[in-house]
Chain A
Amino acid sequence: MQSPCKIPGRAFRTTLMTAALAILLFHSCQDDEICEDLTANNLRIGFYMIDQEDDQWTVVDSLRVFAVEKADQPIHDTLRFISALELPLNPSADSCGFVLDFFHLVDTIWLTYERKTHMVSVECGFTMFFDIKKTVYSTHHIISLEAPMTYVTNDLDEHLKIFLPDTVNGN
């Protein structure tokens, strides 16, 4: 079978070269990947009032946070009137602890996790995701702790809920 679509030789070669150049231009104009800032894969904590039917945020008046392993360097030095917190998990260890100093009472949270190295892209490099396996905490001011989302990635999920006393109603 042969088709009757005929193009003279010179025109064919001209078409070939023109199309090739056009496509080459199109090809070279495609954007290279731009590396956005790598979002830190922080542990996200929310503070809640205990004994509420629906989880209700509570405001912590003052808070200072240290890592157990680096007590000389506070992660957050005197946060005021907060109801959420972000903490960096240690990418070089399978566990880390944080001291939460509520100024009148101090608690420690200890987290054990699996680390998962994750490629953002070849251009932008790698980051660390964490899969929390265990949480241990003291209960001087903290009443209880829940981990609704244990996989810590670069999304905006809340990973831990810390329940505190209802200071307004004196519970």
Chain B
Amino acid sequence: MNYKRPKADVVIVGLGWSGSTMAEELTRAGLKVVAIERGAWRDTSTSFPTTRDPDELSGSVRKDILQAPVTETYTVRNKVGQTALPMRKYHNLTLGNNVGGAGTHWAGASWRWLPFDHQPYSHVMQRYGAGQLVDGLILQDWGVTYNDLEPFYDRFEKIAGTSGTAGVINGQRQPGGNPFEGSRTSPYPTPALERSRANVLFAEAATRLGYHPFPVPSAMIGAPYKNALGLNLAPCTYCGYCQLYGCGNWSKSSPNICILPVLMQRPNFTVVTECEVIRINTTPDRKTATGVTFVDSDGNIGEQPADIVITATFTLDNTRLLLLSGISTPYDVASGQGVVGRAFTFQTLSWGFMFFENEYLNPFMNTGALATQIDDFNGDNFDHTGLGFIGGAGIQSLSNQGLPIGMAGLLPQGSPQWGKGWKQAFRKGYQNYAQIQGQGTSFAHREQFLDLDPTYKDRFGQPLLRITFDYNENDRRSGRFIRDKCVEIAREMGATQVGGDSFADRPYSGYTPWDSSHVQGGVVMGEDPRTSVQNRFQQNWDVHNLFVIGASSFPNNAGYNPTVVVGATTLWTAKAIRDLYLKNPGPLVRL
């Protein structure tokens, strides 16, 4: 049975961080907003009580909180000519499956990106010239700068209650913070959390080596805080059940605690849950979006007409929705023409793994983002002359795991993985294992892209999205460089056994243990319609009333996590809709 819902001013597809942030802005401006969400309603008290949340098996082992591959998955191949195959089991891309999206179960690293990360092309050309770029690399500015975004970074941090130690305020260096960060107008809303033993050892070693350690800004609230929307957030308790768990303490920033309790008081807001949007509808000339079509849980087809369509789904699904809807020109790898699915990036991870002899690292006292970092080798904070690559990584001592099933295989080299020897090795390794993550930049390449799979379909018979990705030469060079830095610091920390790894030295896989979940691009914002899907306001170049928000807009990935940038760019776009678009609906950038 098909049906049509009453027309809304705005329909938002997906109610995670970006969707709920946008909904709050636009309902406050008086618009009638309907959000359509694939997952179910979740609220903290009912869904994540502290009396049942600390359960490793259903949490990070069975991953009950994630969207399952049976609902939708992606096919993957490393290069053109190979046959892409579906990721059949849970993989590294951790999609949310509820109101709140991945913002409910995320680990919580809460970064502003460097000014460089928003204007990498201008910066690299000015400092090094085109000779610094490996063949095929795609590098372009966002059309929006760090300075443009600063007020929105500030606002989003005050919604999230981000904890941290500022490094630069109004151009002035601050003790204990990141000296390389873009200048802030205010300190973090809440103070940095206490450090783990591993963090302390890292900071001491990094300081001896002449680097500049600082606490990683975090979604784990540092002190009782009333956020910008008037909601009370509670201090983090270091319980260690963050990534792939909801937070029952009201102490991890999420749409569920930071935005939705306010949004749900507004009569001009409606969310329709457990309905999957299958396409964006347009007028026959494809110049105007008319709404979206969705499938509800009974299999009925519903339509939600609206004057403005905003898609705020998972990064990859934003690209897929445009391709399924025939909006904008798909990227063609052979010619290099087209934009949808182009400029797709991942994250280049390097690691230092280490074991101590007689430590009590007490790894169970942690948070998803309990980390101390150096940015001395991130972005363009160091001279790349003669190195043959651009970018780098945030290098961090990451205390984010202490749950025993997940650590059962983390043993000193040569230890047996079962039998009596395993019990002894695990007993010792559990208290003596530490890790340094190099969370590296990823730049787009003409041979990395997204399109629709020719073979595999979802449960509704629509094509799955196909990922064609392998690390490029820039990734491999930066990955090895960063790995060696991780190992250098690990040795300085006094570990007796140290190993290093650069994932970019092997073909990309969605199943590499300890790999990232961050993917970006595909619907990028930019200054030129030939190389971007959207203008600097995340407004589609072709369809003026369509805005696709999220990390799909970013043409490169930084040596950081993306969430706060998603929040800031969403607020930037919300302001453009409110102040500019509503007064004069049409293209906000005219060429």
| A and B from one complex | no
